[in-house]
Amino acid sequence: MEGYGLIVIEGYIMIISHGLCSSGIFYMVNLYYERSERRLLFLNKSLVSNLPTAIIWWFLFCIGILIYLILICFFRAAYSLYLYSYVYHGKNIYHENKIYNFNLKEYIILIMHFFPLLIYLLNLIIFI
């Protein structure tokens, strides 16, 4: 039963990281939906030119999913990277210039999602 404590600790890490990564990605999807007012991924391509800072945040959350969940949820992590590459790259079919960048409140919310993930990654010894 010595390994039981390690399993519980790994479970806590997984719950915290999955909650922060998933909610961060869902928040990013909501931000882009509020700006583009479209839900079709086919119409929402080529975000690199419209939201240059969003690509960095989305990539950080996808890497957060890969770091913490690659052994258990490989397909979820692979799909999030596919979604990232599909939405942010490619030719824009429905081009609009009304898409504006994030404001300070949205940056703070994204930082509040990502900062605990970074702390857990750098200080995993606190769980042992």
pLDDT tens by residue, 59-98: 888 777 776 655 566 676 677 777 777 776 666 655 555 6
28 neighbors 47 (Cβ within 8 angstroms): no
124 neighbors 99 (Cβ within 8 angstroms): no
Report if pTM > 0.75.
no
7-66 pLDDT tens trace: 777 777 777 777 878 888 888 888 878 877 777 666 666 666 667 787 788 888 877 777
Domain definitions of the chain by residue range: 1-97
Angle at Cα 46 formed by Cα 87 and Cα 24, nearest 5°? 40
Tokens of 38: 């479209």
- As a whole number of angstroms, the distance between CA 4 and CA 58 comes to 34
